[in-house]
Amino acid sequence: MPPLSHPLDFSSLPAYLDSAARWVGDELLARIPRQEPARWLYEPARDYPSRGGKRFRPALLLLSAAQAGGDPALALPSALALEAFQNFALVHDDIQDGSLLRRGKPTLHRQVGIPLAINVGDYLFGLVYRLLAENEQRLGAAPAWRVLTQFNQVFGETFEGQAMDIGWIAENIVPDREQYETMIRKKTGWYTGRGPCQIGALIAGAAPDLVARLGDFGETLGIGFQMQDDLLNLAPDSSGQGPQGMQGGYGKERGGDIAEGKRTLIVIELMERLPAPEKKRLTGILLKPPAETLPQEIEWVIDQATTTGSLDAVRLRCREMGNRALDLLAGIPPTPQRQILEGLTRHLIFDRTA
């Protein structure tokens, strides 16, 4: 098959991310029908994809395919499937977490109600498999099956991590560091990093050692990214800012993780540092329903995280993950795509301040 055309610009990190986000966004929206029942399904299904977002997961998949010598156009259906999965996950996560904002706007279930929002999420998950079905014609039956198998592993790991995250909140469990790292590796490491990188490399027909190294890099990047996002959720300028392109901003309400009772590394650090009375107060705040958590309680938690050194400890761990990711990239042949991967690592972990 002759090379297919693609609009990706590998001249710089901003140029690449902008071109990838536009390509994936336009192509995904084009795959969502404009037909009945429009008001109850297809229009809401277009809502989150239309809000923009970083889209760095599909960008990472496309970039990994190119790094491994593949044609990014052949990887497009898989990149779209990953973005459809991301939007499905956001719709359902927002319901599960009781989130109020997503990318700076009211969450979907607050607009259309929980039953319709669940159905929209289900449709987006179904769209994942419709997109992956395109791989058989583009890649051939055997490679398409390998990609599908890898996607299924990403889904399984992600759902296991989500179960742990929700279960801890439901049963008032504060995990230890080892439990937290297992959860974040499953929930974020796989579908934010390892999955996209390995899938892109598989599509390119890369050797197993390159697939493995790119996967290790992606997992490390994904975990560091999640820690940095947890920090950004507490930053003063995060409130109401929906991420655009690869800019900063969290897109959820400031301190939303606290209101939702999230067991982040920041919470674990706090639990290790606070005296018993303050620890009890923190636990009470985390147990409250999001709508009942007071602004002054969120500010108290943020102040405690600052004064106890918990935020600094998480920032240090973030930088460690970033340096480990860069070390893994150093073992990959130098290409323009590797330069972008290095730049992406620095941007996501070192450049976004909190």
Rounded to 5 degrees, φ, ψ at 6 are -150, 155
Across the strands, what pairs with 101?
106
Structure tokens at 117: 């929002």
Q: Give Cβ neighbours of residue 291 (< 8 Å, ≥ 6 apart).
A: 98
- Delimit the domains of the chain by residue range: 13-237+248-351
The C-alpha angle with vertex 67 and arms to 66 and 68, in degrees rounded to 5, equals: 90
- pLDDT digits (tens), the chain, 354 positions: 444 678 999 999 999 999 999 999 999 999 999 999 999 999 999 999 999 878 999 999 999 999 999 999 999 999 999 999 999 999 999 999 888 888 889 999 999 999 999 999 999 999 999 999 999 999 999 999 999 999 999 999 999 999 999 999 889 888 988 999 999 999 899 999 999 999 999 999 999 999 999 999 999 999 999 999 999 989 875 444 433 322 233 445 688 889 888 899 999 999 999 999 999 999 999 988 888 999 999 999 999 999 999 999 999 999 999 999 999 999 998 999 999 999 999 999 988 665
Q: How far apart are CA 231 and CA 251, in angstroms?
A: 13
Domain made up of 13-237+248-351: CATH architecture: Orthogonal Bundle (1.10)
Distance between CA atoms of residues 23 and 27, nearest Å: 6
Distance CA 307, CA 354 (A): 15
Place of tokens 């499937």: 81
Whole-prediction pTM: 0.89
CB atoms under 10 Å from CB of 36, counted, come to 9
Which residues sit opposite 102 in a β-bridge? Answer: 105
Q: Which of 6, 341, 39, 47 shows the shortest CA–CA distance to 196? A: 341
Q: Which residues pair with 105 in a beta bridge?
A: 102
